[in-house]
């Protein structure tokens, strides 16, 4: 019986995603909205020059705290006063967008029974440094547009991939966060 259970379990893993576990989570969230409540936190510290280190200590999901211990380092290119040792904040922003969208495609395809062979997302955007440097009040300090191209290959039909694409566009948290205004608040604590 255990061998059959293991074989059945393996059969429900597509693209490295346990589709039974995803279905179970979806069911729990559908039955109890508290199960779907999450809280994400990071703490970023200056490490000299243009370098930062962001620490991820953990997150909350469904009323439970899950411990983590990760660091994300950033820097700036030499031209912007950095040492070019790590991705800069713009590249990190795009990487976070791409990573979130990637998860959507991988899970969406797995739930449709599509086995992926390749998935790559290329993202780009232009920032006019006159806005960042405060040289022209009519120039935004950020992007007017970010564009990404999804390259996907697997055993799905074009119609199946289109369905997954539309679902990802409608449900990806980071796609939503980048594409829509969200309330952003701040506090300042000055220590002496």
What is the pTM assigned to this prediction? 0.90
* Fold of the CATH domain 87-181: GMP Synthetase; Chain A, domain 3 (3.30.300)
Torsion sign over Cα 116, 28, 166, 169: negative
The answer to whether 103 touches 16, Cβ cutoff 8 Å, is no
Q: What percent of the chain has pLDDT over 90?
A: 94
- Residue-wise pLDDT tens digits, 86-128: 999 999 999 999 999 999 999 999 999 999 999 999 999 999 9
- Residue-wise pLDDT tens digits, 8-49: 545 599 999 999 999 999 999 999 999 999 999 999 999 999
- For the chain, which residues make up each domain, given as ranges? 32-85, 87-181
Angle at 147 between CA 118 and CA 181, to 5 degrees: 120
The answer to whether 45 touches 52, Cβ cutoff 8 Å, is yes
């Amino acid at each position: 019986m255990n061998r059959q259970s293991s074989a059945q379990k393996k059969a429900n893993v597509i693209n490295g995603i346990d589709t039974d576990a995803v279905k179970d989570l979806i069911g729990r969230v559908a039955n109890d909205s508290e199960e779907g409540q999450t809280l994400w936190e990071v703490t970023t510290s200056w490490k000299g020059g243009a370098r930062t280190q962001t620490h991820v200590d953990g997150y909350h999901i469904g009323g439970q705290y899950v411990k983590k211990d990760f660091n994300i380092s950033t820097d700036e290119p030499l031209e912007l006063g950095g040492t070019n040792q790590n991705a800069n904040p713009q590249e990190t922003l795009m990487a976070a967008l791409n990573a979130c969208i990637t998860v959507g495609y991988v899970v969406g395809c797995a739930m449709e029974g599509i086995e992926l062979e390749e998935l790559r997302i290329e993202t780009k955007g232009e920032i006019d440094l006159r806005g960042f440097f405060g040289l022209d009040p009519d120039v935004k300090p950020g992007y007017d547009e970010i564009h990404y191209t999804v390259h996907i290959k697997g055993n799905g039909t074009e119609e199946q991939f289109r369905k997954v694409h539309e679902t990802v566009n409608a449900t990806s948290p980071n796609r939503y966060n980048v594409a829509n205004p969200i309330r952003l608040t701040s506090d300042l604590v000055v220590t002496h």
